[in-house]
Amino acid sequence: MTKKLAKGRGDRQVKIDALGLPYRELNALLREAVAGGAESIELTNVYGQRYIGTDLMKPVRLDIHGTPGNDLGAFMEGPRITVHGNGQDGIANTMNEGEIIVHGHAGDILAMSARGGRVFVRDDVGYRAAIHMKEYGEKKPLVVVGGTAQDFLGEYMAGGVLVVLGLTLKEGERHRASYIGTGMHGGVIFLRGAVEKHQLGKEVGVAEPDEADRKLLRTLVGQYAEYFDRDAEEILKKDFIKLFPLYLRPYGRLYVY
């Protein structure tokens, strides 16, 4: 197993060739590297290994070349992960702190139940992005999707900020997701572009972003543009709509006897 691990610069920078490594062995190598004081880890030949970064409780930097498997960064507490490729389902599942940057697409349930940290996806995401995302005290997850999303975007959101930029849509094309914000009872969604009313959950209100919202959008879009070499000012020229919850307990009456 140790033949896959190469160290440099006083063991602070580590390279791991993940080719053929089962996910348990790969994650054991990652724990070994972090315990040994690694500050930066480069993973090559990653092909579907799961749970990468889930139990690395230090602000280590991971660069992943390939396609990591499900639950990348699940329960993460501090690392900064950059994926040079696509990601699969469950990225940032219940993440508490840290940052994940995906130079491609991401699968379903992105940032499910995330409690903190930041996620930036260059392109599109799958179904139920930001489902059950929440916030507590100073903890507030921030998710920026450069493209568009599938159905149930922001389902049961209880907190945090979700921004969907629609950059992969053609001129004049609308977002296609249905049931946006179904069951939403906290947090906020910013959509660049337009949707029809029937695409929204009945628990969702629509408004124009206010000055505080625009300030936040400038910050998040600026960060997205920096990561993915885009023009932030050009992105911000197009109108955004703000989606917010109309009720704190949209299904509360279902549980009254």
Dihedrals phi, psi of 19, to nearest 5 degrees: -60, 120
What residues are paired with 102 via a beta bridge? 83, 121
The DSSP letter of residue 239 is -
CA distance 56 to 235: 34
- Give tens-digit pLDDT for 16-44: 999 999 999 999 999 999 999 999 999 99
Q: Which residues of the chain have pLDDT under 50?
A: 1-3
Contact (CB, 8 A) for 186 and 240: no
- Give tens-digit pLDDT for 67-109: 999 999 999 999 999 999 999 999 999 999 999 999 999 999 9
Whole-angstrom CA distances from 57 to 30, 95, 212 are 11, 11, 33
- CATH topology for 105-257? Pectate Lyase C-like (2.160.20)
Amino acid code (one letter) for 73 = G
Contact (CB, 8 A) for 98 and 81: yes
> What does the block give as tokens for 240?
């955004």
The DSSP letter of residue 128 is T
The whole-number pLDDT of residue 7 equals 55
The DSSP letter of residue 252 is G
The whole-number pLDDT of residue 1 equals 39
CA distance 52 to 67: 11
The whole-number pLDDT of residue 183 equals 94
